[in-house]
Structure 1
Amino acid sequence: MREFGYERARDVPGAVAVLGADPEARFLGGGTNLVDLMKAGVERPAHLVDVRELPLDRVESTPDGGLLIGATVSNSDLAAHPEVRRRYPALAQAVLAGASGQLRNMATVGGNLLQRTRCPYFTDVTKPCNKRTPGSGCPAATGEHRNSAILGASEHCVAVHPSDLAVALTAFDGVVHYETVEGEGELAFADFYLPVGDTPHLETALPAGALITGVTLPPAAVAAHSRYRKVRERASYAFAIGSAAAALDVEDGVVRDVRLALGAMASRPWRARAAEAALIGGPASGEAFALAADAELAAAKPLPQAAYKVPLLRNLLVALLTELNEETAR
Structure 2
Amino acid sequence: MKPFAYSRATDRANAAEAVANNATFIAGGTNLLDLMKLEVMTPDKLVDINRLDLSEITETDDGGLRIGALVTNSDCAADQRVRRDYPVLSRAILAGASGQLRNKATTGGNLCQRTRCYYFYDTAMPCNKREPGSGCQALAGFNRIHAILGASDACIATYPGDMAVAMTALDARVEIQDVDGDIRQVPIQDFHLLPGDRPERDNILQAGDLITAVILPRPAEGKQIYRKVRDRASYAFALCSVAAIVKMDGETIAAAALAFGGLAHKPWRDEAVEALLIGEKPSAELFGKAADRLLAEAQGYGSNDFKIPLTRRVLISVLQEATKTRAAA
Range into which the TM-score falls when normalised by the shorter chain: over 0.9
CA contact (8 A) 2:16 2:209 kept: yes
Residue 130 of structure 1: which of 128, 131, 138 is its match?
128
CA contact (8 A) 2:177 2:209 kept: yes
Give the distance between the partners of 1:122 and 1:107, measured in 2 at CA: 21
Give the distance between the partners of 1:17 and 1:221, measured in 2 at CA: 38
Runs of 4+ in structure 1 deviating by more than 2 angstroms, as ranges, are 284-287
- The residue correspondences of 1:111-126 to structure 2 (distance < 5 A) are 111-126=109-124
Quote the residue 2:160 is aligned against: 162
Q: Which has the higher helix share?
A: 1
- The residue correspondences of 1:142-181 to structure 2 (distance < 5 A) are 142-181=140-179
Quote the residue 2:66 is aligned against: 68
Give the distance between the partners of 2:255 and 2:309, measured in 1 at CA: 25
CA contact (8 A) 2:170 2:220 kept: no
What amino acid sits opposite 2:238 in the alignment?
A: A
**Deviation at 1:287?**
3.0
Quote the residue 2:193 is aligned against: 194
Quote the residue 1:217 is aligned against: 216
**Deviation at 1:53?**
2.3
Residue 244 of structure 2: which of 241, 246, 268 is its match?
246
- Give identity over the alignment, percent: 50
Give the distance between the partners of 1:241 and 1:310, measured in 2 at CA: 10
Give the distance between the partners of 2:287 and 2:81, measured in 1 at CA: 29
CA contact (8 A) 1:161 1:266 kept: yes
What TM-score, normalized to structure 1? 0.96
CA contact (8 A) 1:89 1:225 kept: no
Give the distance between the partners of 1:260 and 1:253, measured in 2 at CA: 19
CA contact (8 A) 1:273 1:296 kept: no
Give the distance between the partners of 2:164 and 2:176, measured in 1 at CA: 16
Give the distance between the partners of 1:188 and 1:207, measured in 2 at CA: 16
Quote the residue 2:305 is aligned against: 307
Give the distance between the partners of 2:9 and 2:253, measured in 1 at CA: 48
CA contact (8 A) 1:250 1:284 kept: no
The answer to whether residue 8 in structure 2 is matched with residue 8 in structure 1 is: yes
CA contact (8 A) 2:152 2:197 kept: yes
Task: Give deviations 1:231-278, integer Å, cap 9, x for gaps.
Answer: 111123111111010010001111110010000100010013221111
Query: 1:48 is paired with a residue of what secondary structure?
Result: strand
Count residues with an aligned counterpart: 324
CA contact (8 A) 1:72 1:108 kept: yes
CA contact (8 A) 1:15 1:49 kept: yes
Query: 2:159 is paired with a residue of what secondary structure?
Result: coil
What amino acid sits opposite 2:190 in the alignment?
A: D
Q: Mind listing any 5+ residue stretches in structure 2 that lack a counterpart?
A: none
